[in-house]
Amino acid sequence: MKRVVITGAGTINALGHSVTSTFEAMREGRSGIGPLEFRDVDRLSIKIGGQVRGFEAEGRFNRQQMTLYDRFTQFTLTAAKEAIAQSGLEFHGELAAKAGVVLGTAGGGVSTWDDNYRSVYEDGKNRVHPFVVPKLMNNAAASHVSMEFNLKGPSFTVSTACASSNHAMAQAFQMIRTGMSPAMITGGSESMLCFGGVKAWEGLRVMSKDACRPFSANRNGMVQGEGAGIFVFEEYEHARARGAEILCEVLGYAMSSDAADIVMPSKQGAARAISGALQDAGLDPGQVAYINAHGTGTAANDKTECAAVADAFGPHADQLMMSSTKSMHGHLIGGTGAVELLACIMALKDGIVAPTIGYEEVDPECALDVVPNEAREVEVDYALSNAFAFGGLNAVLALGRAP
Amino acid sequence: MSTQEKVIAIIAEQALLTPSDVTPSSSLEDLGIDSMGLVECIFAIEEEFDISVPFNANTPEDSDFDITDVSSIISGIEKLLSQKA
């Protein structure tokens, strides 16, 4: 089996428009969550989110592109450009024929649906723009990345709600590990912060009106974010032969299904995914120093996740650090695992563990070291990134320092 | 129908029971209504009475709406209706 490394990373999210600015915010424990700004926000009961600010699509894309790019595609292309530039890869010939794009998104072009439903239902219009369908489809972002960067290998979009990006990255990893492709573009994006997107979430009554406080006893729900995280996964010898800078190694993964409830998480399902990822990566539980938690800030997720980690790690659960960066960038739904992978890269590469901010009160049901409020300087050799989706679909990635 | 009858009808429908099986002292748990059923009940109540019920599923005990039993739900709704009027 081939070894897989990450040679490029790109992002745009509420904390920054690049990996550097996102790392800086994570180090400082800065929150990107604030008042939402979009049409009809006054009709929502949830008025906060991790919205991307200062992003002017007009300057980045031409008029023809703008008619085809929903905001989730714009985020994806912006992050992909950063990641591929960092990797230094150019896709021609055999590499182009084998390299593909596997991305995660839960909702795809949500604001395109929203705008056009408004137009036909509320404004009574009888026609919509001819490119509504290619703009809103869930695979639009993956397809535009393939076109923009000449990627002609296996390409598709994975949609498993909040685990979409982790499932996507697991697929990309597997393709390189088995020798199918020498390099893959992977990660995910989401942009649901529009009236219809937030209105749908309000209905579940699991959203917080003030802050995302994962693992804190006074937590009162999740806060939505938006953005993208995109990575270049590359076969190790391929990267080494060209002298590429390696950010970290992807060691393994596991996926599991709770087969239990459409919204309530299961400790057993999560624990099976965590243990499975350790096994696939060939790691002993005691080797893991950091977990980027799913950590949504809901009552149900956080206590279930802590119990699953305690089950999977046994006594070592009390030695490791587990933080939720959703406290800063919000929950990016289908894009969340991708942006959160950055926290693992920062821990492995720079030895800085991102904090769980907004942490105020100890919860005996979440009695792990959640790195409260301040980042920590610690050498981390191995890390996990958790994602547990609605529908009971779980995906956990295992990572290690650059070889 | 009175407020009480309307609320009992909504809860009975969610619990797949006849309204006569739902008494003011029944708790939602007694009636077999889980957290998802509760969220659906609150939605139906908001639609029926055109009110907004302050309820967060993460912190039911901190919400300004008592869901201990059917009678507490009814008095909560009556309070919201009087505030609206």
**CATH code assigned at B36:** 1.10.1200.10
DSSP string, A237-255: HHHHHTT----EEEEEEEE
Could you identify the residue written with the tokens 């990345």? A145
> Which range marks the domain in which residue A299 is found?
1-392
Q: Does residue B62 surpass a pLDDT of 80?
A: no
Q: Is A17 a catalytic residue?
A: no
pLDDT at B63: 78
Of residues B42, B43, B58, nearest to A298 (C-beta)? B58
Q: For residue B52, which residues of chain A lie inside 8 Å, CB to CB?
A: 45
At A104 the three-state DSSP class reads strand
DSSP-derived secondary structure letter, A376: E
- Total count of residues recorded for chain B: 85
pLDDT at B5: 95
Q: For residue A211, which residues of chain B lie inside 8 Å, CB to CB?
A: none
Rounded to the nearest 5 degrees, what angle is found at the Cα of A337, between the Cα atoms of A186 and A225? 115
Shortest CA distance from B46: residue in chain A = A203
Q: Does pTM surpass 0.80?
A: yes
- pLDDT category at B59 given cuts 50, 70, 90 is confident
Q: What is the CATH number of the domain that holds A108?
A: 3.40.47.10
> Which range marks the domain in which residue B76 is found?
3-84
In a domain, A186, yes or no: yes
Shortest CA distance from A302: residue in chain B = B58
pLDDT at B35: 87
Q: What whole-number percentage of chain B has pLDDT above 90?
A: 76
pLDDT at B8: 96
The residue annotated as part of the active site, out of A238, A294, A329, A366, is: A294
pLDDT at A19: 98
The Cα of B17 is separated from the nearest Cα of chain A by a number of Å equal to 23
pLDDT at B58: 87
Q: For residue B61, which residues of chain A lie inside 8 Å, CB to CB?
A: none
Contacts of residue A204, Cβ cutoff 8 Å, sequence gap at least 6: A263, B39, B57
Residue A69 burial class via C-beta count within 10 angstroms: exposed 0-12, middle 13-18, buried 19 and up = buried
Q: Does residue B64 surpass a pLDDT of 90?
A: no
In a domain, A400, yes or no: no
- The number of distinct structural domains making up chain A is 1
Shortest CA distance from B44: residue in chain A = A203
- The number of distinct structural domains making up chain B is 1
Q: Do B62 and A203 touch (CB under 8 A)?
A: no
In a domain, A138, yes or no: yes
The Cα of A298 is separated from the nearest Cα of chain B by a number of Å equal to 6
Sequence-ordered strand ranges (E) for A57-138: 100-104
Q: Is A306 a catalytic residue?
A: no
The Cα of A300 is separated from the nearest Cα of chain B by a number of Å equal to 7
Per-block mean pLDDT, blocks of 10 residues, chain A (403 long): 98 98 98 98 97 93 94 98 98 98 98 97 94 97 98 98 98 98 98 98 95 97 98 98 98 98 95 98 98 97 98 98 98 98 98 98 97 98 98 98 97
Q: Do B57 and A206 touch (CB under 8 A)?
A: yes
The residue annotated as part of the active site, out of A162, A212, A248, A366, is: A162
Contacts of residue A72, Cβ cutoff 8 Å, sequence gap at least 6: A105, A107, A108, A109, A110, A140, A141, A189, A190, A191, A228, A335
In a domain, A402, yes or no: no
